Chains A and B, each alone.
Chain A
Amino acid sequence: MRFGVVIFPASNCDRDCVHVLRAVLGQEVEEVWYEERSLDGLDAVVLPGGFAYGDYLRAGAVAARAPVMTAVRAFAQVGGAVLGICNGFQILLEAGLLPGAMLRNAVLRFRCTTVHVRVESTQTPFTRTLREGHVLQMPIAHGEGNYFAPGSLLSTIEEAGQVVFRYCDADGRVTSDANPNGSVRNVAGVCNPAGNVVGLMPHPERASEEVLGSRDGRLLFESVITTVIARREAPKQSRLYEIATGLRPSQQGRSPRPFGARDD
């Protein structure tokens, strides 16, 4: 499939994401310049980590207003899979594509270390092939990763299954010791109501090769590849199609729902 990796001025994990998607996973990758106004032909878009616009003003604040974000918004609206990693997550928050906001780390310092996160929702293309409770080991590297949402919003997104990842210990326990930045209720990643836009602070691209200590991050990319390809190509009777679309065979004939939509 065809990924787009957006390059903002001073993105600095763009090359890492391109490497993993292209060299490790063998996918087609288009490097999308921040002035681009169309994402036609792409199956999924990654907003990489870094310090877009130097994070001047506020992390992600200027990048959220870059021309390419109009295209990202349109891409998301029609159900396209969008992944924001670290600074990319901050940009999606600033763009209003994801709920909540980022505060400075509770330790008031940049932190680069390895953490564990637990998969809380499999209703996104990036977690569809994982299971709830799956513990992933990935690095973090950020100064503003203290996720915040006020109580009412937090309840809403938790009930809607929009919390995708929480910081946990190696055994999957969500504890305050396992929280590296003070995020409210250990939230490490969230999605939009439809589930197709996901943001997380940990770096899956830094955990995609054995030599770097973990391959857990690869599962996110493999999930979206499986999901998108299945959505496009799998025969409608198959289990793969069911995984990809959330549609049971009995529901055939209805158009595929957006990722993350629930039965009512």
Chain B
Amino acid sequence: MTTATLAPESVGLTRDEYEEIRRRLGRDPSPLELRMFGVMWSEHCGYKHSKVTLELLPAESPRLLQGPGENAGVLDIGGGWAVAFKMESHNHPSAVDPFNGAATGVGGIIRDVLSMGARPIALVDSLRFGPLDDPTSRRQAAGIIAGIAAYGNCVGIPTVAGELVAHPGYRGTPLVNVACVGLLRHGDVARSRAAGPGNAVMLVGARTGRDGIGGAAFASAELDTGSEREDRASVQIGDPFAGKLLIEATLDALRAGGVIAVQDLGAAGLTCATSEMAARGGMGMRLELERVPVREEGMRPDEILLSESQERMLLVVAPGATGRVAEIYRRWGLRAAVVGDVVAAPSLTVHSGGTPLVSLPPYALAEAPVHRPAAREPATLRARWTMPDLPMVDPAAALRTLLSTPAVAHKRAVYEQYDHMVQIRTVVVPGAGDAAVLRLPELSPRGLALVADGDGRLADLDPYRGARRAVAEAAANLACVGAAPLGLTDCLNFGNPEHPEVFWTFRQAVTGIADACRAMRIPVVGGNVSFYNESPDGPVLPTPVITMVGLLEDVSRTCGAGFREAEDIIVLISAADPDMAASSYASAVHGIEAGRPADVDLDAHQRVLAVVREAVARGWLSSAHDCSDGGAAVAVAESAILGTIGADVTLPAAARTDAALFGEAPSRFILSLPEDRLSDLQVLAAVHGVPVAILGRTGGDRLRIAATGQREQGWTIDLALDELSRAYESLADIL
């Protein structure tokens, strides 16, 4: 192999980065080595623009068994059990090939959790599309949902929670963020550090083909209009059948002993897995390419090294155990081939037919250079904080409009396509409560609660506050089902970080998450950054998405969002006044996205959450629902629709009727409860210094709301539940 003639730009690297490679190697890289650097130093693998900023995120927790830096974070949940979880994006592949892009996103995150030694027990997906009346966005949405369903359903992991938002800011660049949660015993935590010279390196699972070559580098480039045609070769095809076999076989192999380290093969395939495992262990690795099981004859070394064929894992195995490991995979119909071994010298060497092709220090590949991009506040940001006067509109029509917007509307049309009950853990199914609840028979009566939250519109208007609000909102959703936060994983979706305004926005968002997590003592145990989400129209809405995992002491004492009994008392507990700035109402009804989002007072927020959580855990409440998109009116309407019980409520007066109905603020909840529990709740709230306002009662088949503070002045909204339900089920006609 000659040292000549491959321009760094052709593998996505800059001249400076090329010089850095030369400095690290003390020589020119070969073209093959340069291609390996190209994918490993891509943003997707190397986190070169985000690494410094991500260090702001706190991971401290007394429950922490494994923080960021492994394939997934692991937290103790008591009784010798732990949860492993992680969220990742698969935005670029899903833009080009919605079905396969989303499906392989699911497969990839499952393998991340599996490689911690955990059995995957739940999936969460957070989706962003362009407007659903736009044909391309609709096609992408349908394909992405079908892809998630096809993979998740087949592998038998329930998809239990998620988000769906449609906004022009995602036109052409849909976001597909998928999280997986796994369960394991403390003693079974697996890691990816290569150790023990002489140990075998085994490639297990599917064979290696020509698919997905250069996918990581592709994920780090902006899509242009020709992308759909030219980039198809960069999209991998998932095989959920092989994925399911890989889960079972790998769990069997880990339990059988002799497996020292495990890593999934995702972006950058063998190049990434070998260099990262070796680098983490401070070891070297020798790889013999002719031992790699390939799908087709005549694959070139670079194709084998960079292939992103799915459903593969790399194991480091004690020499005496390779036969047993191979037999376990064979039993599940999969291959397990010894492709090399661990060596003491810190060098990753690749041979083909005895010829050495590559010899690199693993850390040189795995530790991409760190960039500190310029940051600048977007020039137009502050101007957008001025909220124009909104004209008055028919409140009933506005309520119907809000209920039918995709972010608010019932997601039945989506989650019915997902098996959300397999593994028989799902106690609160998607749509029934503010978060999904899974029972843990291993720790009965304890359970887990899962939720995903993010708001690109808020983050666009104030990334710091928007990110804090996302963390606060996730914790609020958990409180409604009676769960306390254990930890979170985040997916940070932004445009091109080389644009100073995009990078400033990113850094503000990370700072917001970090501050909120410190204040609420919630560890960030892992996550993912997706940059370069840009279409010809510009960057996507900056979208930090949080997947938060919570713990319940008793799943039989959880709570749904729908009213449960007629003649219950409806109360609003709240630590903030509603505001029209950056509200869904201004956006969905008036087409205005302006105003500075209110910040969340995290101390007050924590106190309100404590009240809600305790009231749920004591079994006082019939329903608990947090006021988010569309404010108190939408929250009451949702509780009524979900419970098929009407209500008469009087909302506290505000400066304007529409602000009382649809104004938004964090830390506000609509609860319903039997009258004889009201005084208990009031005492509890008083202890925490949280105001409780009695709004009215459940009952009947209409929703009647007085927004003037006084019922005598007549109903501001008076609608039949059927009519509200029709608006709320709007997605049924679309997806």
Q: How far is the CB of B577 from chain A (nearest CB, A)?
A: 38
Q: Given that A12-B155, A23-B441 are contacting pairs, would A113 and B416 also be in contact in the complex, using a CB cutoff of 8 Å?
A: yes
B228-255 CB mask vs A (1 if < 8 Å, else 0) is: 0000000000011110110000000000
Residues from chain A with a CB closer than 8 A to the CB of B146 are: 109
Instruction: Choose among A10, A19, A23, A139 the residue that contacts B154 (Cβ–Cβ < 8 A).
Output: A10
Residues from chain B with a CB closer than 8 A to the CB of A205 are: 424
A–B complex contacts, Cβ < 8 Å, 14 sampled = A10-B156, A10-B244, A16-B423, A51-B156, A54-B241, A55-B154, A110-B419, A112-B415, A112-B419, A141-B419, A205-B424, A206-B424, A212-B421, A212-B427
Question: Does A139 lie within 8 Å of B421, measured CB to CB?
Answer: yes
Instruction: Say yes or no: is A9 at the interface (Cβ < 8 Å to chain B).
Output: yes
Residues of B within 8 A of A (CB): 146, 149, 153-156, 239-242, 244-245, 332-333, 415-424, 426-427, 439, 441, 555-556
Question: Does A10 lie within 8 Å of B245, measured CB to CB?
Answer: yes
Question: Does B423 lie within 8 Å of A211, measured CB to CB?
Answer: no
Residues from chain A with a CB closer than 8 A to the CB of B153 are: 51, 110, 141, 143
Q: How far is the CB of A36 from chain B (nearest CB, A)?
A: 13
CA–CA, A168 and B419, complex, Å: 21
Question: Does B424 lie within 8 Å of A112, measured CB to CB?
Answer: no
Instruction: Say yes or no: is A13 at the interface (Cβ < 8 Å to chain B).
Output: yes
CA–CA, A209 and B439, complex, Å: 12
Instruction: Choose among B149, B417, B418, B421 the residue that contacts A203 (Cβ–Cβ < 8 A).
Output: B421
Q: How far is the CB of B192 from chain A (nearest CB, A)?
A: 26
Query: A105-124: which have CB < 8 Å to B?
Result: 109-113
Question: Does A19 lie within 8 Å of B424, measured CB to CB?
Answer: yes
Instruction: Choose among A19, A55, A109, A209 the residue that contacts B417 (Cβ–Cβ < 8 A).
Output: A109
Question: Does A12 lie within 8 Å of B244, measured CB to CB?
Answer: yes
Q: How far is the CB of A87 from chain B (nearest CB, A)?
A: 10
Instruction: Choose among B244, B417, B555, B556 the residue that contacts A111 (Cβ–Cβ < 8 A).
Output: B417
Question: Does B421 lie within 8 Å of A51, measured CB to CB?
Answer: no
Closest Cβ neighbor of B153 among chain A residues:
A110
**4 new A-B contacts at CB < 8 Å, known A19-B424, A206-B424:** A16-B422, A51-B154, A54-B154, A211-B555
Question: Does A9 lie within 8 Å of B422, measured CB to CB?
Answer: no
Instruction: Say yes or no: is A125 at the interface (Cβ < 8 Å to chain B).
Output: no
Instruction: Choose among B416, B417, B421 the residue that contacts A206 (Cβ–Cβ < 8 A).
Output: B421
Closest Cβ neighbor of B415 among chain A residues:
A112
A15-51 CB mask vs B (1 if < 8 Å, else 0) is: 1100110010000000000000000000000000111
Instruction: Choose among B156, B241, B441 the residue that contacts A56 (Cβ–Cβ < 8 A).
Output: B241
Instruction: Choose among B241, B424, B426 the residue that contacts A9 (Cβ–Cβ < 8 A).
Output: B241
Instruction: Say yes or no: is A53 at the interface (Cβ < 8 Å to chain B).
Output: yes
Residues from chain A with a CB closer than 8 A to the CB of B154 are: 10, 12, 51, 54-55
Instruction: Choose among A12, A23, A110, A112 the residue that contacts B156 (Cβ–Cβ < 8 A).
Output: A12
CA–CA, A12 and B556, complex, Å: 26
Q: Given that A206-B421, A206-B424 are contacting pairs, would A54 and B239 also be in contact in the complex, using a CB cutoff of 8 Å?
A: yes
Closest Cβ neighbor of A62 among chain B residues:
B241
A134-174 CB mask vs B (1 if < 8 Å, else 0) is: 00000101010000000000000000000000000000000
Question: Does B240 lie within 8 Å of A212, measured CB to CB?
Answer: no
Residues from chain B with a CB closer than 8 A to the CB of A20 are: 424
Instruction: Choose among B149, B156, B417 the residue that contacts A50 (Cβ–Cβ < 8 A).
Output: B156
Question: Does B439 lie within 8 Å of A112, measured CB to CB?
Answer: no
Residues from chain A with a CB closer than 8 A to the CB of B242 are: 54
Residues from chain B with a CB closer than 8 A to the CB of A203 are: 421
Question: Does B156 lie within 8 Å of A9, measured CB to CB?
Answer: no
CA–CA, A97 and B706, complex, Å: 63
Residues from chain B with a CB closer than 8 A to the CB of A209 are: 424
Q: How far is the CB of B681 from chain A (nearest CB, A)?
A: 25
Query: A75-112: which have CB < 8 Å to B?
Result: 109-112
Residues from chain B with a CB closer than 8 A to the CB of A141 are: 153, 419, 421-422
Residues from chain A with a CB closer than 8 A to the CB of B439 are: 211-212
CA–CA, A53 and B417, complex, Å: 20
Residues from chain A with a CB closer than 8 A to the CB of B156 are: 10, 12-13, 50-51
A171-206 CB mask vs B (1 if < 8 Å, else 0) is: 000000000000000000000000000000001011
CA–CA, A135 and B513, complex, Å: 50
CA–CA, A55 and B241, complex, Å: 8
Residues from chain A with a CB closer than 8 A to the CB of B420 are: 112
Residues from chain A with a CB closer than 8 A to the CB of B421 are: 112, 139, 141, 203, 206, 212
Question: Does A211 lie within 8 Å of B556, measured CB to CB?
Answer: yes
Closest Cβ neighbor of A54 among chain B residues:
B241
Closest Cβ neighbor of A55 among chain B residues:
B154
Residues from chain A with a CB closer than 8 A to the CB of B426 are: 212
Closest Cβ neighbor of A23 among chain B residues:
B441
Residues from chain A with a CB closer than 8 A to the CB of B239 are: 54
CA–CA, A141 and B429, complex, Å: 13
Residue with the highest number of chain B CB atoms closer than 10 Å, among A112, A139, A205:
A112
Closest Cβ neighbor of A10 among chain B residues:
B244
Q: Given that A16-B424, A211-B556 are contacting pairs, would A54 and B240 also be in contact in the complex, using a CB cutoff of 8 Å?
A: yes
Residues from chain B with a CB closer than 8 A to the CB of A51 are: 153-154, 156, 240-241, 244
Instruction: Choose among A49, A55, A112 the residue that contacts B416 (Cβ–Cβ < 8 A).
Output: A112
Kindly list the 9 A-B residue pairs having the minimum CB-CB distance in the complex, ordered from nearest: A12-B156, A54-B241, A51-B154, A141-B419, A10-B244, A16-B424, A112-B419, A110-B417, A139-B421
Q: How far is the CB of A140 from chain B (nearest CB, A)?
A: 9
CA–CA, A248 and B716, complex, Å: 70
Residue with the highest number of chain B CB atoms closer than 10 Å, among A15, A109, A203, A209:
A109
CA–CA, A141 and B426, complex, Å: 14
Question: Does A112 lie within 8 Å of B423, measured CB to CB?
Answer: no
CA–CA, A248 and B239, complex, Å: 54
Closest Cβ neighbor of A143 among chain B residues:
B153
CA–CA, A10 and B334, complex, Å: 13
Q: How far is the CB of B675 from chain A (nearest CB, A)?
A: 27
Closest Cβ neighbor of B159 among chain A residues:
A112
Closest Cβ neighbor of B428 among chain A residues:
A213
Question: Does B427 lie within 8 Å of A112, measured CB to CB?
Answer: no
Q: How far is the CB of A156 from chain B (nearest CB, A)?
A: 33
Residues from chain A with a CB closer than 8 A to the CB of B333 are: 9
Residues from chain A with a CB closer than 8 A to the CB of B241 are: 9-10, 51, 53-54, 56
Residues from chain B with a CB closer than 8 A to the CB of A109 are: 146, 149, 416-417
Residues from chain A with a CB closer than 8 A to the CB of B240 are: 51, 54
A198-229 CB mask vs B (1 if < 8 Å, else 0) is: 00000101100101100000000000000000
Question: Does B149 lie within 8 Å of A110, measured CB to CB?
Answer: yes
Q: How far is the CB of B444 from chain A (nearest CB, A)?
A: 9
Question: Does B424 lie within 8 Å of A212, measured CB to CB?
Answer: yes
Question: Does B427 lie within 8 Å of A9, measured CB to CB?
Answer: no
Closest Cβ neighbor of B333 among chain A residues:
A9
Q: How far is the CB of A81 from chain B (nearest CB, A)?
A: 22
Q: How far is the CB of A206 from chain B (nearest CB, A)?
A: 5
CA–CA, A13 and B415, complex, Å: 19
Q: How far is the CB of A207 from chain B (nearest CB, A)?
A: 9
Residues from chain A with a CB closer than 8 A to the CB of B244 are: 9-10, 12, 51, 54
CA–CA, A10 and B240, complex, Å: 9
Closest Cβ neighbor of B119 among chain A residues:
A15
CA–CA, A20 and B425, complex, Å: 12
CA–CA, A111 and B412, complex, Å: 10
Question: Does A12 lie within 8 Å of B422, measured CB to CB?
Answer: yes
CA–CA, A16 and B426, complex, Å: 12
Q: How far is the CB of A15 from chain B (nearest CB, A)?
A: 7
